[in-house]
Amino acid sequence: MPTDKDFLKNLVGKMLQKIPSKIPGRQRFTRFLTKPIIDNRPALFEANGLYFCVPSLKEPIAFSLWSSGAYEPEVQELILSHWKENTWFIDVGANVGAISIPLSKLKPGSRVLGIEASPSIFPYLKENVSRNQCENMTIVQCAVCDEEGVMLDFNEAPESKFGMGSLGTSFGKPSIQVKGHTLDTILADFGTPDVSVMKVDVEGFESAVFLGAKELLKEQKPRIIFEFCDWAEENSGRFNIGESQKILREAGYEIYLSSSDGIIRLTDVIKGGYENLIAFPRN
């Protein structure tokens, strides 16, 4: 874990963050421009007034934070638009806190629960929550699944694919055991708080999260932003492509696609590609 900010990297990052994000080719140009100073060492830098420890600036989430000051700002805006005051936002697959930490600072009167399964990522999440004094944010280290209290094989990703570790995809490394809990049980431990929105990004195991959140989906019906990735679901070894969408539909939700043109209602299950999807409870 880094203890001091690298002066040069921090200076370059601050300069890059001033470049408008919508300039065509910005990301490609930025990667080319910064290639000489990017390495595999852990880094500590400032991003829009917040501080982040990351394993390496080569990792996509870290690079986005460092070079633009935010990670998936459109997803953050979507979450904010559906996050009611004095309620909880649940981030399942919180990674280093790239989304949940900035949001926690924007909603000091509400609560954030960040959950991360990876033993190699969780220390960075913990460090970042502490450094940014996110007093309204609680973090839990476990895999969110559809069985309570089980031990699960977790496959850590190599450094080049940091953050892509999962319960399914193997990267040729020995798996490690992590504790698994259902989301219903985790929330019960916190007194079953009022949850208005949740984000789920768990590399193809979104179905397991939803199956273990039956009470939450039935009683509270939060808005859900979740990732669909065809190869990740296929590589889960448990779920069919599109199954997470089917589970939510059966639970009384409509699925929408988040695009540059706005929110588009889907009449059928998407089975190809990569998309950020939104689930709203049916009226």
Q: Does residue 160 sit within a domain? A: yes
In this structure, the answer to whether residues 230 and 105 fall within a common structural domain is yes
Averaged confidence pLDDT in the chain: 91
Domain end among 22, 52, 68: 68
- Residue 115's DSSP bridge partners are 92, 140
Q: How far is CA 129 from CA 100, 118, 132, in A?
A: 9, 16, 5
In this structure, the answer to whether residues 86 and 184 fall within a common structural domain is yes
Q: Tokens in use for 77?
A: 């805006």
In this structure, the answer to whether residues 123 and 37 fall within a common structural domain is no
What count of Cα atoms within 13 Å lies in the side-chain half-sphere of residue 270?
Answer: 21
Which strands sit side by side in the sheet containing 253-259, from one edge to the other?
Answer: 137-141, 111-116, 88-92, 195-200, 223-229, 274-281, 253-259, 262-265
What tens digit of pLDDT does each residue of 15-66 get?
Answer: 999 998 888 888 888 999 899 889 888 999 999 999 999 999 988 899 999 9
Q: Name residue 278's amino acid.
A: I
In this structure, the answer to whether residues 50 and 132 fall within a common structural domain is no
* Domain span holding position 37: 7-68
What tens digit of pLDDT does each residue of 57-110 get?
Answer: 988 899 999 999 999 999 999 999 999 999 999 999 999 999 999 999 999 999
State the pLDDT confidence band at 241, using cuts at 50, 70 and 90.
Answer: very high
What tens digit of pLDDT does each residue of 155-204 get?
Answer: 876 665 555 566 666 556 778 899 999 999 999 999 999 999 999 999 89
Mean per-residue pLDDT, 210-226: 98
**Confidence (pTM):** 0.92
Q: Does residue 234 sit within a domain? A: yes
Q: How far is CA 210 from CA 105, 118, 119, 206, 245, in A?
A: 27, 19, 22, 6, 10
Q: How many domains does the chain have?
A: 2
Q: Does residue 248 sit within a domain? A: yes
In this structure, the answer to whether residues 174 and 125 fall within a common structural domain is yes
Q: Does residue 200 sit within a domain? A: yes
Q: Does residue 1 sit within a domain? A: no
